Amino acid sequence: MTTRIDRALGSDFGAAGGDSLGAAVEFMSLSQIRQAYGRDGIQEPDAFYGFPAFCITDDTQQAIALGEGLITAIGDGLSVDGIRRGVWSSLKRWHQSQGIPNQRRAPGSTSMSSLSRDLPGSIETPLNRSDSCGSVMRAHPVGILYAGHPEAAYEVGIETAVLTHGGILGRSAAGMLAVIVSELCVGKDLRQSYATAERIVRNEIGIDPLLALTRRAMELEPAPAVTAESGLGQGWEGHDALAIGLYAARCHEREYLAAVRLAANHDGDSDSTASIAGALIGARLGLASIPRSWYQRLERRADIARVANVLSVVEPVSAKLPVQ
């Protein structure tokens, strides 16, 4: 039987594996990827920016930081204020680490500029209107913590997104990813988990493009590659990154490798889309779906495992929202 801990490890390592697969091709078009890696595109993590294969990028660095911030907030009783404080402090430490050349892995500009400030953004006082995918690619640890509590996952997903990303689409996409992972972590399938997310976000104002794209991702015919005809965007924005990740996971709901390969080989933001696909399919199938030869070689695998292990043994709420 696949347990909550196993699904949490699957999600956290699944995301990191997808990130490392997409790293080398993040800024390449699909035709450039095929020129470099052959007709099927990149299949295994490769060296990038002078770092060896199986290194992670800013996506996983920030996901670890967010997870560590949540762990800090456990000591504060997981109040919304405690979560905001813990995650902001942890992301600020990540931002400081970007001054060290060998820690810099093409960090997203919205995160970098927001985290250079003294105070975080909030729903009432957003720092910017950015919908970029930086808020989504780091959101799966929220779903791991709030397994089986999708409403709380959504609220905390938004609160942690808006620390740096003020756009409504980006923050709601982060909340949706947290919801879907929270449902997958208790054994629901992708369709059931998406339906929960759709129900929770349906009444939000201004998110029609997010709903339209993710619904398309859930309904589109499976194809060998995500192309312009897919109509899912390129993953630079939070809503299209979530859509591509969902689509790849849905097309290969029984096979981790096929899902992250589909999500990495396209014209756009390959590390983020493959990370999101990996977070989803890993939560769906558990750690055993990821090749041991991948997760045992990932940079910072001890931190990735610790975040998943700690967050998945906490019972954060008894089916109620975190206390203000």
**Closest CB to Mg ion among residues 58, 159:** 58
Q: Would the CA dihedral through 139, 142, 144, 150 be positive or negative? A: negative
Rounded to a whole number of angstroms, the minimum distance from the CB of residue 308 to Mg ion is 20
Stretch that binds Mg ion, among 10-18, 56-64, 138-146, 313-321 (CB under 5 A): 56-64
The Cα 318–Cα 17 span in angstroms is 32
Nearer to Mg ion by C-beta: 153 or 161? 161
Closer by beta carbon to Mg ion, 63 or else 200: 63
How deeply is 79 buried, as exposed, middle or buried, from its count of CB atoms within 10 A (0-12, 13-18, 19+)?
A: middle
Least Cα distance to 279 among 144, 157, 188 occurs for 144
- Find the part of the chain contacting Mg ion (CB under 5 A) among 33-41, 50-58, 115-123, 297-305: 50-58
Contacts for 302 with CB less than 8 Å, ≥ 6 apart: none
Interface pick for Mg ion out of 6, 12, 58, 155 (rule CB under 5 A): 58
Nearer to Mg ion, 58 or 155 (CB): 58
> Is 115 or 185 the residue whose CB approaches Mg ion more closely?
115
Nearest to 13 by CA among 291, 261, 223: 291
How many CB atoms are located within 10 Å of the residue 128 CB? 15
Judged by CB under 5 A, which stretch of 28-36, 51-59, 192-200, 292-300 contacts Mg ion?
Answer: 51-59
Sole residue written with tokens 């985290």: 115
Give the shortest CB-61-to-Mg ion separation in angstroms: 8
Near Mg ion by CB under 5 A: residue from 183, 240, 271, 303: 271
Is 59 among the residues that bind Mg ion (CB under 5 A)?
A: yes
Q: State the amino acid at position 27 in one-letter form.
A: F
Q: Which residues bind Mg ion (CB under 5 A)?
A: 57-59, 271
